[in-house]
Amino acid sequence: MQKLISLRVGLALAVSVALITPAVAEQQPKRVVTLGGSITEIAVALGAGDLLVARDSTSNYPLQITALPDIGYIRALSPEGVLSVAPDLILAEADAGPPAAVDVLTAAGVPFLRMPGDPTPAGVVAKINAVAAALGLDAEGDALAAKVQAELTEAKVRAAAVTDKKRLLFVLSLQGGLVMAGGEGSSAEGIIALAGGINAATGFAGYKQMTDEAILTAAPDLILMMDREGDLAIGNPDVMAHPTLSQTPAAQAGNIVRMDGMMLLGFGPRTPDAAKLLYDALYPKAG
């Protein structure tokens, strides 16, 4: 019987927090909860979909996963909801929380593993290896990691070949007319670089509001957003009605692109696909 955590986990989970009891660690997991869309995608891609008993609200791919119980948003977990499905292992993205909820889960004796979350090609491979190690699926992990690594290398070569790189502005939200954008070190910047573009939002880290002056100075060639529904949806009319975004080169040229949010920002197995789609939107004549 394979151990829950292989010898490779020391490297694969170098940036993770592992809270696990020895009695459980020696057993193959049978009831797994995945928190975070990319973690769920990896688990399914490894062939472990039948082990999953619940997922968080960001886990919506592949489609059959949505039939599993939804235990809530990854950053607003309810310990009671998670424990109600009696998991023997919880695999989580790095930003799962709040901390108080995680404390309750670990106090209940459930192994809770945070996976690597670096939004880079190397981070994707590390995440695959970490999930595979936690599930005792090292051979499957090696195969998936090799496949995705090859696709990511192809994307990096394609991006490096671009001589006249376009500037992108990733807009996360427009609530109250305020532009929340993806800055330095964000997953948005990571996918933009992998697609051969330049992040137009500079001078701040993560996701923050940009001033009108900063947006005009950024002068993006393309505005990138997630394809959303409901109150958070941003249509082209919303962009064109915005007094600042409407004045950017991207809006003036109608270069506004929307993509599936988890594929775009999740940094999981579909990251190479996201990079290619974005590359094609940026450089249609090169495709």
Written as one string, the DSSP assignment of 104-121 is HHHHTT--EEEPP--SSH
Q: What is the pLDDT of residue 53?
A: 98
**179: which DSSP letter?**
E
Q: What is the pLDDT of residue 16?
A: 39
Q: Among 282, 265, 264, 275, which residue's Cα sits nearest to residue 155?
A: 275
pLDDT in tens, 123-177: 999 999 999 999 999 999 999 999 999 999 999 999 999 999 999 999 999 989 9
Q: Among 277, 275, 38, 66, which residue's Cα sits nearest to residue 144?
A: 38
- Work out the average pLDDT over 178-196: 98
Count up the domains in the chain and report the number. Answer: 2
Q: C-alpha distances in angstroms, 112 versus 87, 89, 141, 235, 280?
A: 10, 6, 20, 39, 39
Statement: residue 1 has pLDDT above 50: no
257 DSSP β-pair partners:
224
Q: What is the pLDDT of residue 230?
A: 79
Statement: residue 19 has pLDDT above 60: no
- State which residues form the domain around 13: 9-152
Q: What is the pLDDT of residue 233?
A: 87
Q: What is the pLDDT of residue 285?
A: 84
Calculate the dihedral angle through the C-alpha atoms of 144, 272, 224, 165, rounding to the nearest 10 degrees.
150
252 part of a folded domain: yes
Cα angle 184, 155, 253; round to 5: 65
- % of the chain beyond a pLDDT of 90: 86
Separation between Cα atoms, residue 24 and residue 33, nearest integer Å: 15
Model confidence at 228, in pLDDT bands (50, 70, 90)?
Answer: confident
As given in the structure block, the two tokens for residue 190 are 């990571």
Statement: residue 28 has pLDDT above 80: no
108 and 184, same domain (yes or no): no
Separation between Cα atoms, residue 8 and residue 173, nearest integer Å: 39
Model confidence at 256, in pLDDT bands (50, 70, 90)?
Answer: very high
- Beta strand spans in the chain (E): 18-19, 32-35, 52-55, 89-92, 112-114, 167-173, 179-182, 198-199, 207-210, 222-226, 256-259
Q: Among 251, 44, 9, which residue's Cα sits nearest to residue 116?
A: 9
3-state secondary structure of 17: coil
157 part of a folded domain: no
23 part of a folded domain: yes
- Work out the average pLDDT over 202-216: 97
187 and 129, same domain (yes or no): no
- Work out the average pLDDT over 207-228: 97
As given in the structure block, the two tokens for residue 237 are 């009319």
Q: What is the pLDDT of residue 17?
A: 38
- Work out the average pLDDT over 190-197: 98
Model confidence at 103, in pLDDT bands (50, 70, 90)?
Answer: very high
pLDDT in tens, 44-94: 999 999 999 999 999 999 999 999 999 999 999 999 999 999 999 999 999
Cα angle 98, 78, 183; round to 5: 35
Domain's final residue, options 127, 152, 177: 152
Statement: residue 286 has pLDDT above 70: yes
Q: What is the pLDDT of residue 167?
A: 98
28 part of a folded domain: yes
Statement: residue 3 has pLDDT above 60: no
Domain's final residue, options 152, 175, 191: 152
132 and 234, same domain (yes or no): no
4 part of a folded domain: no
Q: What is the mean pLDDT of the chain?
A: 91
145 and 205, same domain (yes or no): no
- Residue 275 belongs to domain with CATH number: 3.40.50.1980
128 and 22, same domain (yes or no): yes
